[in-house]
Amino acid sequence: MGAHILKRLISAIPVLLGITVIVFLIMAMIPGDPATAILGSYATPENVEKLNRDLGLDKPLVTRYFIWLGNMLSGGFGRSFSLNRPVIDEILDRFNATLILAGVSFVLCTLLGILAGVVSAARQYGLADKAITFTVLIGISVPSFFLGMMMILVFAVNLRLLPVSGMYAIYGGGDLIDLARHLVMPALALAVVATGVIARLSRSAMLEVLRQDYIRTARAKGVHERRVIMGHALRAAMVSIIPVLGIQAGFVLSGSVYIEIVFQWPGVGRMLVDAILKRDILLVQGGVVFVAAAYVFFNIAVDVAQSLLDPRIKT
Amino acid sequence: MTTFLKLLFRNRLAALGAVVLGAIVLLALVTPLLPLADPDVTATGDRFMRPFTEGHLLGTDHLGRDLLSRLLWGTRLSLAVGIAAALVAGTIGSAIGIVAGYFGGRIDNVIMRGVDMLMAFPYILLALAIVAALGPGLLNALIAVAAVNIPFFARNIRGVTVGLAGREFIDAARLAGMGHGRIILTELLPNVASTIVIAMSTTVGWMILETAGLSFLGLGSQPPVADLGSMLGEARAALITNPHTSVVPGVMIFLIVMSINLLGDGVRDALDPRLRSGALTRPRAVTLVDRKGQVPEADQKGLLNIQSLETQFHVGPRIFRAVNEVSLHLNPGEALGIIGESGSGKSVTALSVMGLVASPPGVITGGAVRYAGEDLLSADYRSLRQKRGNNVAYIFQDPLSTLHPLYRVGDQLTEAIQAHHAVPDATARARAVELLKDVRIPNAEARVRDYPHQLSGGMRQRVGIAMALANDPDVIIADEPTTALDVTVQAQILALLDDLRRDRGLAIIFITHDFGVVGQLCDRVAVMYGGRIVEEGPTATILSHPAHPYTKKLMACVPELGGGKRELAAIPGLPPVVSDLPPGCAFAPRCDKATEACRVGEIGFTGSDTHRVRCIHPEEVLA
Ligand code: SF4
């Protein structure tokens, strides 16, 4: 198993490099003078000229990539002009908030989605199945940012049950309960679409599996039907559910950008949008590379989970 | 195509989606012709008017602009941008996919590597990076959304193209001297076009949502021009005081996305043959019993007694009579063979005993199955479950598919034990090792930790047998237990089963198509054809004096008992399709002795209780 994890980690290196190449190429599309873009429009002409020289703009693209990569890695992604601090510091400050939001949301959509899918399959064409199918259809069609706004309107403004936005109360907050109260709505709003997708997939994966011969064997042994479904069938269905969880995690991470804006959540997503509006290029590219790298490692974890579940995968 | 449309519209939700989407698209198309206020004219005096006010059906926004007008113009813009993004992504992505799939080799490798890299990003990061580089704006948002979706098309279309590139018509075109460009345009493209169109139409909802999202963030359309996303984004500041300005564009995005989803689901379902065939319905825990006639009187024969059993498969309007009026009994300690070709109903008969026929489509429509006098067909799930594996156990054909691939064999054995006996795990595990030893698996202590795929076919079937023995059942039903194995292993497994039977006084029903197996193991044999028993009697008698022409032919297919290659193809003709059985004898079309009389009316049994046959011109006249 250790060797397997190591192998996956090594295979991540080219992917990580690929990510930097793509981000570099996108940044090379910036129209006009990159130094101005990096330093902001109030930079002095001397600084701009010096930076242009450092970036090696007269050199071929490949050389420029390595200069760029070197600058990024050695200098902690550079210095943000709009915040006047190193990009890496800002990212690390923000990343926790995103991780909490997206992480809780991901756990929610995984649990709820699989549960809904299993119930739906076990009660196929029954009332529960129809109710779940309908809810899922609505869920995957509502834009998360609109849903978030409506939740604020109902639960925070009208019912006054939950705080409108932010991560902690400004006065007297800061403990775990405060965080949880602030987290409920954004985490739910973010989880809804992925829950729907996972529920659909789990339902069809379960139905597929329930036709298999080994399910008949379990029944022939006299195993209780509840155990047949929650044990034998679900376990086998997980083999096709887990890879989709990895993909859905990417969607949850993507959706967190909107949710962070709607709920004023101090995460990386909001940082990125602010940075784009302020044209703070270094902050954007640092944030993108960092989060994409985190996602690559998450997918390695998914892969390892898959090989733990399925002994037929050579480890 | 017309059947496809019919299927699509039989799905009411899909039809609803089509109607809603059609209405929205129509409204967007005629918007310039409608007598609407200018969407961009501000009137700060009229700001935040409620819906249904005079002159403003949906009210006004924070600058006093008419919301209805802005909604329709915004919808128009959102639809246009979403569709444009789908077209751009679809065209570029498909082109990349076709090139990769057609040329293959290194080109394919390099391209797909790049595609994988792009897919390693959570999509929004890529979109944000592109917008950051190009600057906020609707056109740039469109480019970003299209770019992000290119990998999806590239991968999909490449898959289809790879399948086509190896086909003869492409080779033929190449031999005819056509250039690559021409082959791609005239031979490949027409064949992948439908896939491209379907992929575009299912992703267009996504694209609309994504561009609306970027506009919502302020990175897409810039004021005063508004699409639905930026309308929602601007309204957010007044969410608490004037929610209607948020609700109006939000609901419209929801309606568009939902109607596209409904339509997409409908298309997918209409194209999926498994949905219609019922291959995606959940089989119930117990076969459905729906007995039409009277339950036959108990006749006290045997430990297991099947009387006039009828099992059918109901697939749409078609009815397959898999088992038709089958009566059999099994005495304690006896070995009964049921022999027949595939499709003769022998397996379905066996599975009907414990309600294991997949249902739907299986339905037991008549007869009785009694175990120790109790009718299993009227038993509830609880009592049936308690008997499964405990009183009557099964051994199935192919242990690779019938053992759970993700559980260790030891766990599958302990589970069988604990399903009926509340014993501690340690005891059950020790018993599992015992069982593996009983079926002569070497090194049983280590094998319990193996997964099925780590064992050989013969060893797997021994595990299957051990599992059947786990609760010391009185009856074992072995459904072609050796068919999937090679000949030497077959002999070992048969010998093992025979020993176990004698040691433990087990009664066994042996389902097989092989008279060699019957001769080696069985006391009695029943021959099935077309869902019916056509002959039944003691093995020795039937082997020496087969009475039914079918039995005789079946035996002639076995060159030598217990060995050699056994094929049934030697009987000319095919077994009947049980959905439309001819009147009279089902074997008549393949029978040399068939006469006119064979093709009319019901043919009953002749002979005695011990040896009976269903034939007008039997090979041997039975006393
Ligand atoms: S009934 Fe007639 S057709 Fe059928 S097996 Fe006997 S002889 Fe042949």
Distance in Å, CA B503 to ligand 1 centroid = 41
**Residue B138 included in any domain:** yes
| Residues with Cβ within 8 Å of residue B384, at least 6 apart in sequence | B286, B354, B355, B376
Mutate to test the interface with A, among B12, B13, B109, B124 (most CBs of A within 10 A): B124
Mean pLDDT across chain B, nearest whole number? Answer: 87
If pLDDT is split at 50, 70 and 90, which confidence band does B78 have? very high
Residue B573 has pLDDT above 70, yes or no: no
Pairwise CA distance, residues B267 & B200, whole Å? 13
Question: Which of chain B's residues have a Cβ under 8 Å away from the Cβ of A189?
Answer: none
Lowest mean pLDDT among A111-120, A188-197, B285-294: B285-294
Other CB atoms within a 10 A radius of the CB of residue A17 amount to 13
Q: State the pLDDT at residue B603.
A: 85
Residue B467 has pLDDT above 70, yes or no: yes
Sort B4 into a burial class: Cβ within 10 Å, 0-12 / 13-18 / 19+: exposed
Residue B235 has pLDDT above 50, yes or no: yes
**Residue B43 included in any domain:** no
Q: State the pLDDT at residue B418.
A: 94
**Residue B122 included in any domain:** yes
The tens digit of pLDDT for each residue in B500-557 reads: 888 888 999 999 988 888 888 899 999 999 889 999 999 999 999 999 999 988 887 7
Residue B355 has pLDDT above 50, yes or no: yes
Q: pTM for this structure?
A: 0.88
> Looking at chain B, how many residues does it have?
623
**Would the CB atoms of A146 and B253 count as touching at under 8 Å?**
yes
Lowest mean pLDDT among A176-190, B305-319, B447-461: B305-319
Q: One-letter amino acid identity for B106?
A: R
Q: Which two tokens stand for residue A266?
A: 């101090």
What average pLDDT does range B191-198 have in this prediction?
Answer: 86
Q: State the pLDDT at residue B569.
A: 44
Other CB atoms within a 10 A radius of the CB of residue A173 amount to 15
Q: For ligand 1, which residues put their CB under 6 angstroms from it?
A: B 548-549, 585, 587-588, 591, 593-594, 598, 603, 615-617
Q: State the pLDDT at residue B593.
A: 85
**Residue B254 included in any domain:** yes
Is B237 an 8 Å CB contact of chain A?
A: no
Residue A214 has pLDDT above 60, yes or no: yes
Nearest CB to B218 within list A214, A215, A277: A277
Backbone angles phi, psi at A65, to 5 degrees: -60, -45
Higher pLDDT, B579 or B131: B131
Is B121 an 8 Å CB contact of chain A?
A: yes
E runs forming strands in B281-352: 288-289, 304-315, 318-330, 335-339
Q: State the pLDDT at residue B568.
A: 47
By DSSP bridging, strand A79-80 and strand A85-86 are antiparallel
Pairwise CA distance, residues B433 & B454, whole Å? 17
Q: How many CA atoms lie within 13 A of B610 on its CB side?
A: 8
**Residues of A numbered 57-96 whose beta carbons fall under 8 angstroms of chain B's beta carbons: which are they?**
none
B235 in Cβ contact with B253 (< 8 Å): no
The tens digit of pLDDT for each residue in A234-251 reads: 999 999 999 999 999 999
Q: State the pLDDT at residue B579.
A: 66
Pairwise CA distance, residues B314 & B65, whole Å? 62
Lowest mean pLDDT among A79-83, A149-153, A206-210, A234-238: A79-83
Pairwise CA distance, residues B352 & B362, whole Å? 9
Q: Which stretch, A60-69, A157-166, B14-23, B183-192, has highest mean pLDDT?
A: B14-23
Identify the CATH number of the domain in which residue B133 sits.
Answer: 1.10.3720.10
Backbone angles phi, psi at B111, to 5 degrees: -60, -45
Residue A89 has pLDDT above 80, yes or no: yes
Cβ–Cβ pairs < 8 A, chains A and B: 235
The total of structural domains in chain B comes to 1
User: What domains does chain A contain, in order, with CATH numbers?
Assistant: 88-309 (1.10.3720.10)
Instruction: Please name the residue that has the structure tokens 């915004």.
Output: B74
Residue A53 has pLDDT above 80, yes or no: no
Distance in Å, CA B594 to ligand 1 centroid = 5
**Residue B525 included in any domain:** no
Q: State the pLDDT at residue B26.
A: 94
Pairwise CA distance, residues B504 & B543, whole Å? 27
Q: Of ligand 1's atoms, which has the minimum distance to the CA of residue B591?
A: 8
Nearest CA in chain A to B256: A141
**Residue B84 included in any domain:** yes
Residue B276 has pLDDT above 50, yes or no: yes
Q: What are the helix (H) ranges across chain A?
A: 2-28, 34-39, 45-54, 61-74, 87-122, 127-141, 144-151, 176-210, 213-221, 225-227, 234-262, 268-277, 281-309
What ipTM does the predicted assembly reach? 0.90
Residue A142 has pLDDT above 60, yes or no: yes
| Residues with Cβ within 8 Å of residue B160, at least 6 apart in sequence | B97, B101, B191, B192, B195
Percent of chain B with pLDDT over 70: 93
**Would the CB atoms of A288 and B125 count as touching at under 8 Å?**
yes
Written as one string, the DSSP assignment of A180-248 is HHHHHHHHHHHHHHHHHHHHHHHHHHHHHHHTSHHHHHHHHHT--HHHIIIIIIHHHHHHHHHHHHHHH
Q: State the pLDDT at residue B567.
A: 47
Residue B180 has pLDDT above 90, yes or no: no
Sort A84 into a burial class: Cβ within 10 Å, 0-12 / 13-18 / 19+: exposed
What average pLDDT does range B9-15 have in this prediction?
Answer: 78
Higher pLDDT, B274 or B78: B78
**Residues of A numbered 118-137 whose beta carbons fall under 8 angstroms of chain B's beta carbons: which are they?**
121-122, 124-125, 137
Residue A177 has pLDDT above 70, yes or no: yes
Higher pLDDT, B399 or A130: A130
B152 in Cβ contact with B93 (< 8 Å): yes
If pLDDT is split at 50, 70 and 90, which confidence band does B572 have? low
Pairwise CA distance, residues A268 & B281, whole Å? 44
What average pLDDT does range A204-230 have in this prediction?
Answer: 93
Other CB atoms within a 10 A radius of the CB of residue B587 amount to 26
**Would the CB atoms of B385 and A222 count as touching at under 8 Å?**
yes
Nearest CB to A258 within list B216, B394, B415: B216
What average pLDDT does range B335-362 have in this prediction?
Answer: 90
Name the residue range of residue B94's domain.
Answer: 69-275
Residue B252 has pLDDT above 80, yes or no: yes
Percent of chain B with pLDDT over 90: 45
Residue B314 has pLDDT above 70, yes or no: yes
Residue B191 has pLDDT above 80, yes or no: yes
Q: Which two tokens stand for residue A72?
A: 């990024």
**Would the CB atoms of A121 and B420 count as touching at under 8 Å?**
no
What average pLDDT does range B119-134 have in this prediction?
Answer: 89
Residue B563 has pLDDT above 50, yes or no: no
Name the minimum distance, in Å, from the CA of B176 to any CA of chain A: 41
**Residue B178 included in any domain:** yes
If pLDDT is split at 50, 70 and 90, which confidence band does B600 have? confident
**Residue B112 included in any domain:** yes
